[in-house]
Amino acid sequence: MTVVDGALASGPPRRVWRNRLFQGAMLLCMLVAFGTLAVLLVDTLVTGWPALSSQLLTGLPSTLPEEAGARPAILATLYLGALVLLFSVPIGVLTAVYLEEYANRERWWNRAIEVNIQNLAAVPAIVYGILGLAFIVRGIGVGRVVLAGGLILTLVVLPTVVVSSREAIRAVPDSIRQGAFALGATKWQVVWRQVLPAAIPGIATGSILALSRAVGETAPLIMVGAITYVAFNPTLFGAYTALPVQIYNWTRQPDVDFQTLAAAGAIVLLVIVLTMNAVAIFLRNRYRKQW
Amino acid sequence: MSADVTVARPAVVALPRKRIRWGEQFVHLILFIAAAISVLTTVGIVLSLLLPALEFFREVSPLDFFTGTTWAPLFLDAQFGVLPLVVGTLMISFWSALVAFPLGLGVAIYLSEYAAPRATAFLKPILEILAAIPTVVLGYFALTFVTPFLRDQVGVQVEIFNALSASLVLGIMLIPTIATLSEDAMAAVPRDLRDGGYALGADKLQVSTRIVVPAAISGIIAAFVLGFSRAVGETMIVLIAAGQLAQITFDPRETVETITAFIGATGNGDVPTGSIEYKTIFAVGLTLFVMTLVMNLISIRLVRKYREVYE
């Protein structure tokens, strides 16, 4: 009995404490990240709740905070999202198919395309905005229209779509390709009828995540001239503002009521973005295949 | 051709190419064009930055631009010293890195070495949600929550627009990037190395810090470099929360202007084409692009290095 007591009194050896301390520190890192996220969500919700009304969703912008709404901005954001989906998914998936199934990696230009896409993924979004300003808005003369914004956002998220599509295609086992080839299928038949259908869940997940990023992107849209005050519904070739830009503009107003509006706008944006993320995560878990 | 070669690659011998399939060739071409769009994007970025920047440097000497300490491009007596913007950018990136590097690495070690699979399945989506928060919302949070919090609760006398709030929030924003990339690198470390450590009597702390982290170090550094590059290129948080006062200061409580904040504040679409303000955007943008390009290429190279070793 005394021996056991003595052993308990001396406690676990130092290395056990060191390990616990270390594990605690790692957990703390986790908690700081998630705690900040929780505080952000709660703070936005509490601040913006009073201004979250049907007026915000259906009203037009105004210089008076109590009359201001964000319908044109919300609609334009939906248009931009549709354009991004329309352009980035086909181009991104075809690029991924090229790199995974067709490109001969011995060739220098194929390696260059790969490094180029990796770099593009890390180019600051505002640099794409400069590209849009110089080429699409001023250069080709499309002007500050929804289409220009959609094109620029497409370029911003294209690398993300390519990278996630490549991963999805790479996860399809070779035995499926071999089987199709053995039955006499051509390369494109193998890709189109076997590889791509098997990769669809992964491609869809990546595309939705890319889309959610595009919808929340602000800086490039400021550059290509999503303007502050738009009191009409957007059209493809018309002036526009987007929801994140609208939030930014409200944030800059000195009037505290506009700050509340900004928070309410942020709630709407967060709902859109987080819903997309939830769908993506659901798709990934639902269709996760074990080959 | 000896018999064993035929056995090894029967298809090649059995199916001599007789005709070119034009349909397949066409598909190949289409795919190549799609892939080339990304190359064209890079060419477009370089051209759209370089051409107006060259015009800019015809009017302002590069020496004045890169060594000048006063940034006042919109004043009557315009001064084009880019150093205040560069210092502001690097200071904010430095402080955000100070937040993000240890926290991101801690999260990565926890996910890779400690968390049970069920915990990982629950924690990773939360990390993704953090990564998905639009930066304009983060900027708003830094300005309207973090700055008042620092002033009233913590008691740090910060300006309304200050580098500290922006850096803290930017650092939190970077955690998912750094954690995910570092964890990838740690996951690539073979199990044998860990088991070897345990067999020698090492505990989890020792295996994590003396075996896994050193073995994954090139991937971890790649994550840090990419994270720093993200910090340098982030616009909305600094534009909203750090302000627009271009000054050389190393005090994070003060208002500073970063390269990205200047571009975002100036390039709002109303600048007349061909004016010196218009060209300034491109000269500053080129500086930003080169800074991030160098970091990205270093990061890409480091990732390739660890992939070569373990995969």
* 3-state secondary structure string across B31-55: HHHHHHHHHHHHHHHHHHHHHHHHH
Please report, rounded to a whole number, the percentage of residues in chain B having pLDDT higher than 90.
61
pLDDT at B233 over 90: yes
Residue A229 pLDDT exceeds 70:
no
Q: Is B171 part of any domain?
A: yes
The answer as to whether B295 is a domain residue is yes
Angle subtended at Cα B77 by Cα B75 and Cα B78, rounded to the nearest 5 degrees: 60
Q: Does residue A1 belong to any structural domain of this protein? A: no
- Report if residue B56 sits inside a domain: no
Helix (H) or strand (E) holding B72: strand B71-72
User: Domain span at residue B306?
Assistant: 72-310
Listed residue (A26, A33, A167) closest to B112, CA to CA: A26
Residue A278's CB is within 10 A of a number of other CB atoms, namely 15
What is the least distance, in Å, from the CA of A127 to any CA of chain B?
7
Q: Which two tokens stand for residue A36?
A: 């900040």
Q: Cβ(A98)–Cβ(A107) under 8 Å?
A: no
DSSP for A98-159?
IIIII--TTSHHHHHHHHHHHHHTTS-HHHHHHHIIIIIIIIS---S-HHHHHHHHHHHHHH
Residues of A in contact with B48 (CB under 8 A): 130-131, 133-135, 139
- Lowest pLDDT segment from A91-95, B106-110, B296-300: B296-300
Are A34 and A123 members of one domain?
Answer: no
Q: How far apart are the first and last CA of chain B?
A: 34
CB-neighbour burial class of residue B297 (10 A; exposed 0-12, middle 13-18, buried 19+) = middle
Q: Which range has the worst mean pLDDT, A66-80, A126-140, A213-227, A228-242? A: A228-242
Residues of A in contact with B102 (CB under 8 A): 29
Query: Same structural domain for residues A158 and A43?
Result: no
* Residue B34 to residue A95, Cβ atoms within 8 A: yes
Say whether both A228 and A169 belong to one domain. yes
For the entire predicted model, the pTM comes to 0.89
User: Out of A19, A40, A125, whose CB is closest to B141?
Assistant: A40
Residue B34: its pLDDT value, please? 93
Q: Is the pLDDT of residue B1 over 60?
A: no
Verify that A24 and A136 share a domain, yes or no: no
Phi, psi for A280 (deg, rounded to 5): -60, -45
Q: Which of A72-81, A233-242, B20-29 has the lowest mean pLDDT?
A: A233-242
Give the residue-averaged pLDDT of B154-181.
Answer: 92
**Residue A102 domain-assigned?**
yes
Of the candidates B182, B207, B213, the residue with the CA atom closest to the CA atom of residue B195: B207
For A220, the domain range is 54-286
Establish if B93 belongs to a structural domain.
yes
Residue A7, domain member (yes or no): no
How high is the pLDDT of residue B278? 84
- Give residues with Cβ within 8 angstroms of B277, minimum separation 6: B73, B74, B266, B271
Q: Are residues A41 and A149 in the same domain?
A: no
Model pLDDT, residue A279? 92
- Which of B35, B292, B295 lies nearest to residue A95, judging by beta carbons? B35
Q: Say yes or no: A37 and A124 in one domain.
A: no
Is B265 contained in some domain?
A: yes
A42 with A59, same domain: the answer is no
Cβ separation of A216 and B134 shorter than 8 Å?
Answer: yes
SS3 A255: coil
Residue A193: inside a domain: yes
Option in B39, B133, B240 nearest A248 (CB): B240
Does a structural domain hold residue A38?
Answer: yes
Lowest mean pLDDT among A108-117, A212-221, B10-19, B123-132: B10-19
Residues in A closer than 8 angstroms to B179, CB to CB, are 33
Establish if A269 belongs to a structural domain: yes
Number of domains in chain A: 2
Let me know whether A275 and A150 are in one domain. yes
What pLDDT shows up at residue B182?
94
User: How far does the CA of residue B202 sit from the closest CA of chain A (Å)?
Assistant: 10
A67 has pLDDT over 80: no
Residue A283 · residue A208 · CB < 8 Å: yes
Based on the fold, state whether residues A22 and A166 are members of the same structural domain: no
Chain A residue with minimum CA distance to B37 = A91
Residue range B240-260: mean pLDDT, rounded = 89
Q: Which of B103, B204, B209 sits opposite A32 (nearest CB)?
A: B103
Interface of B with A in 147-166 (CB under 8 A): none
State the burial class of residue A6 (Cβ atoms within 10 Å of its Cβ: 0-12, 13-18, 19+).
exposed
Using CB atoms, pick whichever of A33, A47, A225 lies closest to residue B107: A33
Which residue has better confidence, A254 or A31?
A31
The whole-angstrom distance between residue B120's C-alpha and the CA centroid of its chain comes to: 25
Question: Stretch B265-284: mean pLDDT, rounded?
Answer: 80
pLDDT at A201 over 60: yes
Give which of A85, A230, A84 is closest to A149, Cα–Cα: A84
Residue B20 lies in a domain: no
Mean pLDDT of B212-226: 93
Half-sphere exposure of B242 (CA within 13 A, CB side): 36
Write the CA distances from B131 to A11, A54, A120, A210, A211, integer angstroms. 42, 29, 18, 12, 13
Domain for residue A183, yes or no? Answer: yes
A30–B123 C-beta distance less than 8 A: yes
Average pLDDT, chain A: 87
How much is the average pLDDT of B114-119? Answer: 89
* Tokens (6 digits) for A84: 């991004």
What is the spatial distance between Cα B280 and Cα B261, in angstroms, rounded to a whole number? Answer: 13
Mean residue pLDDT of chain B comes to: 88
Residue B29 lies in a domain: no
What are φ and ψ of residue B159, in 5° steps?
-70, 165
> For the residues B181-194, what does the mean pLDDT come to?
92
Please give the pLDDT value at position A137: 74
Residue length of chain A: 291
What is the C-alpha separation between A240 and A77, in angstroms, rounded? 9
**Residue B80 is inside which H or E element, if any?**
strand B79-80
A2 pLDDT more than 50: no
CB-CB under 8 Å, A266 with B137: yes
DSSP letter at B274 equals T
Alpha helices in B188-216 (DSSP H): 191-199, 204-206, 213-215
| Number of structural domains in chain B | 1
Would the CA dihedral through A176, A180, A182, A188 be positive or negative? Answer: negative
Segment (H or E) for B22: helix B22-59
Binned at pLDDT 50, 70 and 90, residue B3 comes out as very low
A74 lies in the same domain as A165: yes
Ramachandran bin of B60, using left for φ above 0, alpha for ψ from -120 to 50, beta for the remaining angles: beta
Give the separation between CA A249 and CA A102, rounded to whole angstroms.
46
Which of the 8 DSSP states describes residue A21? H
Residue type, position A252, single letter:
R
Residue B220: what pLDDT? Answer: 94
Shortest Cα distance, chain A CAs vs residue B303, angstroms: 11
Averaged pLDDT for residues B96-111: 96
Q: Are A194 and A262 in contact (CB under 8 A)?
A: no
pLDDT of residue B222: 92
pLDDT band of residue A264 (cuts 50, 70, 90) is: very high
Residue B26 counted as domain residue: no
- The minimal CB distance from B48 to the residues A19, A123, A135 is found for A135
Identify whether residues A38 and A131 lie together within a single domain.
no
CATH number at residue B271: 1.10.3720.10
B306 or B84, higher pLDDT:
B84
Gyration radius of chain A over CA positions:
25
Amino acid B2: pLDDT: 44
For B58-73, letters b (16+ CB in 10 Å) and e give eebeeeebeebebbeb
Question: Which tens digit of pLDDT belongs to each residue from B4-52?
Answer: 444 455 555 555 666 788 888 999 999 999 999 999 999 999 999 999 8
pLDDT at residue number B132: 92
Domain of residue A120, CATH code: 1.10.3720.10
Q: Are A161 and A21 part of one and the same domain?
A: no
The two three-digit tokens of residue A138, written as one number: 């001023």
Q: How many CB atoms lie within 10 A of CB B266?
A: 18
Q: Considering only CB atoms, which chain B residues are within 8 Å of A277?
A: 125, 128-129, 132
A1 pLDDT above the threshold of 60: no
pLDDT digits (tens, 9 = 90+) for A160-194: 999 999 999 999 999 999 999 999 999 999 999 99
Close Cβ partners of A132 (under 8 Å, ≥ 6 residues apart): A148, A149, A151, A152, A220, A223, A224
Decide if B264 and A126 are in contact by the 8 Å CB cutoff.
Answer: yes
